[in-house]
Amino acid sequence: MNKSKKPVTSDKGNNEGFHPKEATVTVGNGGEWHQIATGDQPVLTTNQGLPISDNQNSLRANPKGPTLLEDFILREKITHFDHERIPERIVHARGTGAHGFFELTHSLEKYTTAKVLTEEGLQTPLFTRISTVAGGSGSSDTPRDVRGFAVKFYTKEGNWDLVGNNIPVFFIQDAIKFPDLIHAVKMEPDRGFPQAASAHDTFWDFISLTPESMHMVMWVMSDRTLPRSLRMIEGFGIHSFRLVNAAGESTFVKFHWRPKLGLQSTLWDEAVKIAGADPDFHRRDMFEAITTGCFPEWDLAVQLFSQEEADTFPFDHLDATKLIPEELVPLQVIGRMVLNRWPDNFFAETEQVAFCPSHVVPGIDFSNDPLLQGRLFSYLDTQLSRLGSPNFHQIPVNAPQCPFANHQRDGHMQMAQPTGRVAYEPNSLAIDSPHEQPVTGFYSTLIAESGAKGRIRAESFADHYSQARQFYCSQSSYEQAHLASALVFELSKLEHPHIRAAMVGHLRHIEEKLAQRVAFGLGMDDLPQVPTAAVAVQDLALSPALQLIGKMKDTLEGRMIGILLSDGSDAASIDEVKKAVLAEGAKVKLIAAKIGDVKLADGSMIKIDGQLAGTPSVLFDAVVILLSDEAAESLGNEAAAIDFVRDAFGHLKAIGIDNGGELLLKTAGITQDDGVFAVSNSLEHFIAASKTRQWEREAKIRTLA
């Protein structure tokens, strides 16, 4: 018997790994795999269950001869490998998923029959996938991009998919424009670049010719598209949906996810550098949070309103380029989502999960938003092409967790084996077969429709600038500067000056000063002409709730602090900083010039988490530099150390120092400001400052538009 715990491998071509008498066989069971026999290690088999004696050598005619076609084991293995990839999502290809639950804390019984929204205290299992939009599945986590926010609730009454984004509005009003929008933003077809970037001609060409996108463009150019963590973004269902109660009355609803950790973003320069330092920054952050028990959490809130109320809004709520300010219709928190389980297998779950906005439960219905109406078709279609079969609902991550049965049969990769001769309804031959449920089943709300059929856009959709203006004007001055600078960066990348000019023309409708800032940043001598607007731009009431800075939380929870140290660093200082940071719910990583152990001044050894060159300060929310004088002097000749402190300072982070740290800052040419603290006497101030950014520093170190 093989007692070794080591994997059984052989490069000698012998049979030492195979022990037929104690073979462990692995069998499939509706998509799950079970070990059914004993032994130290499972036996490696083909997909037909044949034990394999040699997994190192293919079958050759002689030791130096050609490989034989007869080698069915080689062919099965390679063929399977050749087919490992399925088409990636045409949008939202790069995503991070996790399991969790939704707990209802406030019943909406008055408005809906949906049990997931009426049974207080009920915990509904769910799977959530957060994604970028434009890049391929292997692209980095931190481009400037919208984040998809899709949640599949496995309710008692079937799956409910709430497939939203981290921005409450969208680029276009009508689904028929979606392929154009996506073709414009994705890599240009003749050259195959840029990957995961909107800073190129085709995107801005399309946008400049599509005024309805201006509101969304304001959001996309804000720091909302540069999240610090996926745990620190909001989610929005975007469209109006309907809730329908037992009396058949319907109420409009907008869904909002609110992160418990508050909102937090990176700076643009930081996001760019993170992409190099750790392309998996967001996925790793989520993985580390969930696997260490710091479960990400969001509140679910709703905005509820009637048709009569909607008629008084100065915009049309069926237009997905508009939002309903919280000041107009307040948010009501009705429950919370906790993500507490990382998937066992990325492909099986995160890649194969199939969301469809058409997956609703009784008591939830659609509105006439023309973007939503198009999506109701698109997602089912895309699953057929990606997952290759109308049986995609049988894949465990997609399968409802309530009983489900109907008379649909057969098809590619059918896993179910229904019995009996009846596969139709109505029938009298199998009274226990699935029958429709007129009372509790899903029904579509009765809505009277009138008007002329045609390819016509409602006049109420014509105002493209007022909410863009409201968004920009509601931002803090720091956020306005970031937004203007983002526009300068993106438009500066264009080869075609006429697109630049067209964009600045649109900005003049939104806010004249914004247009001036961007034009100045782009080196334009004169402001371009203002394009004709279909309707006059309105001055809507400012909405402070649209700020990101306003929604940052005064907390270190979920944050990461980096301590740069060296041989000879002071053990007591390290200990004090660590304790203070951990007490606030943040995590600490220790960085030194070399990986391994560092010998501190008191002779104790401490384990290092990251090597300096591979662990730059962009990976942290705040940093502490605790060095012996000698180490500070030698690190002064180390570009990675200079970059570490310069970037931390440039990214407006709080910096804690001791004498050695002060020396390194000096060598790096940094003039200390109010965001730099001696940890010996100002540790608590350092902690407080680490919860935010040193915004006042920015104007002194960076020219913003």
Binding site for ligand HDE (CB under 6 A): 89-92, 95, 129, 131, 148-150, 163-165, 170, 175, 178, 238, 320, 353, 355, 371, 374-375, 378-379, 382
Closer by beta carbon to ligand HDE, 320 or else 519: 320
Contact 149, 164 (CB under 8 A): yes
Contact 645, 656 (CB under 8 A): no
Smallest gap from Cβ 128 to ligand HDE, in A, equals 9
User: Rounded CA gap, 281 and 580, in Å?
Assistant: 25
Place of tokens 């919208």: 146
Residue with CB nearest ligand HDE? 148
Q: Which amino acid is at 397?
A: V
**Cα-based distances in Å from 182 to 178, 202, 204, 598, 693:** 6, 10, 12, 50, 34
Contact 468, 214 (CB under 8 A): yes
Smallest gap from Cβ 586 to ligand HDE, in A, equals 29
Instruction: Give which of 267, 366, 315, 282 is closest to 97, Cα–Cα.
Output: 282
Closer by beta carbon to ligand HDE, 152 or else 697: 152
- 464: Cβ contacts below 8 Å, ≥ 6 apart: 211, 212, 214, 215, 321, 533, 534
Relative to beta strand 560-564, strand 622-625 is: parallel
Smallest gap from Cβ 129 to ligand HDE, in A, equals 4
Report helix, strand or coil for 517. Answer: helix
Closer by beta carbon to ligand HDE, 27 or else 90: 90
Smallest gap from Cβ 636 to ligand HDE, in A, equals 47
Instruction: Give which of 471, 507, 459 is closest to 487, Cα–Cα.
Output: 507
Q: Residue 529 is encoded by which pair of tokens?
A: 């002409």
User: Rounded CA gap, 121 and 113, in Å?
Assistant: 16
Closer by beta carbon to ligand HDE, 371 or else 652: 371
Smallest gap from Cβ 198 to ligand HDE, in A, equals 16
Q: Residue 595 is encoded by which pair of tokens?
A: 């990986």
Instruction: Give which of 157, 442, 145, 149 is closest to 300, Cα–Cα.
Output: 149
Smallest gap from Cβ 278 to ligand HDE, in A, equals 22
**Cα-based distances in Å from 568 to 266, 524, 629:** 33, 55, 9
**Cα-based distances in Å from 342 to 100, 238, 285, 519:** 9, 27, 12, 47
User: Rounded CA gap, 132 and 140, in Å?
Assistant: 9
Closer by beta carbon to ligand HDE, 93 or else 515: 93
User: Rounded CA gap, 80 and 47, in Å?
Assistant: 10
Q: How many residues does the chain have?
A: 705
**Cα-based distances in Å from 78 to 135, 150, 268, 414:** 29, 34, 43, 24
Smallest gap from Cβ 467 to ligand HDE, in A, equals 16
Closer by beta carbon to ligand HDE, 92 or else 653: 92
DSSP state of 333: E
Smallest gap from Cβ 89 to ligand HDE, in A, equals 3
Q: Which residues are catalytic?
A: 92, 165
User: Rounded CA gap, 162 and 356, in Å?
Assistant: 8
Place of tokens 């709730």: 545
Closer by beta carbon to ligand HDE, 285 or else 643: 285
Report helix, strand or coil for 367. Answer: coil
Relative to beta strand 622-625, strand 123-132 is: unpaired
The torsion region of residue 293 among left (phi > 0), alpha (psi -120 to 50) and beta comes to: left
